[in-house]
Amino acid sequence: MAELGLVVGTAGNVSVRLDSAEGRDLMAVTPSGAPYDGLAAEDVVVTDFEIEPVEGSRPPSSESLLHAGIYLRRPDARAVVHTHSIFSSVLAVLGEDLPPVTDEVAVYVGGAARVSEYAFPGSEQLARSVCAALGDNKAALIANHGAVAIGRSLDEALDICLLVERASQIYVTARAIGQVRPIPPEFVEAEKAVYRMRNPLARGDARSQEVP
C-alpha cells in the first residue's frame, strides 16, 4: 500500500478472515504502529472478533474493531483494506459521497462509496458508522479519515481501494474544471444489477450479525 501511495508511514491497516477454529471467528490483522517496509509474517497478529489475542506478540491494529465489525456485518468479506489515500480522503473531509461517476464504480463497488458519520478513530461507534455507510457495497469513505474496501481476497480488496482512489481523483478533478456529467440513473441501476449478480452474498443489512 505504501508503494502505491495509499498510505504514509504506519497509517492504514489490512486484515483477512480466517476459517473458524472450534467455532471461534478469527482474523489476521496488521500490528499497530509498524512501518510496512519492515513487516514480516511473524508480525501479523491473529485475534478473534472481540479482539482477544490468539497468536502474535504485537498489539493488533488500532482499527481492529472496524475490521471485526465488517466481518460480522458482511459474511461475504474475506479481506479488509483501510487506506489514507489522498483523493478519497479529500471527499471524506468534505463529507461527500463518491457517486458512480465512472462505470466501474457501479459495477465493482456496487454504487456510490458513501461517507460515514464521523466517529472517534478505533471506536465501536466508528465500526458501526462505517458498516452503515458500507451497506451492501464494497467500499466506503470514513469521515475525516480515509477509505475502506472489502473483497473475497486481499487482492480484490486492494484493487477496490485503488479503483475508489482513481475515481475520487477523476471526480475531484472534474469538479475543479467544470460540471460533472453523471451517468443516467437507468444505466447506473443496470450496472448495479451486474454487481448484485456477481456478489449474491453481499448483504450489509439487519439480517447480518451486529457490530460488537
Using only C-alpha atoms, the chain has a radius of gyration, in whole angstroms, of 17
Active-site positions?
63
* d(C-alpha 192, C-alpha 60), whole Å: 35
Nearest to 93 by CA among 123, 118, 112, 121: 118
* d(C-alpha 115, C-alpha 97), whole Å: 5
At 54, list the grid cell. 490468539
Q: Is residue 177 within 8 Å of 20, Cβ to Cβ?
A: no
Which ranges constitute the DSSP H helices of the chain? 64-73, 86-94, 103-104, 124-134, 154-177, 185-198
Residue 20 φ/ψ, nearest 5 degrees: -60, 140
Q: Is residue 168 within 8 Å of 152, Cβ to Cβ?
A: no
Residues in the chain: 212
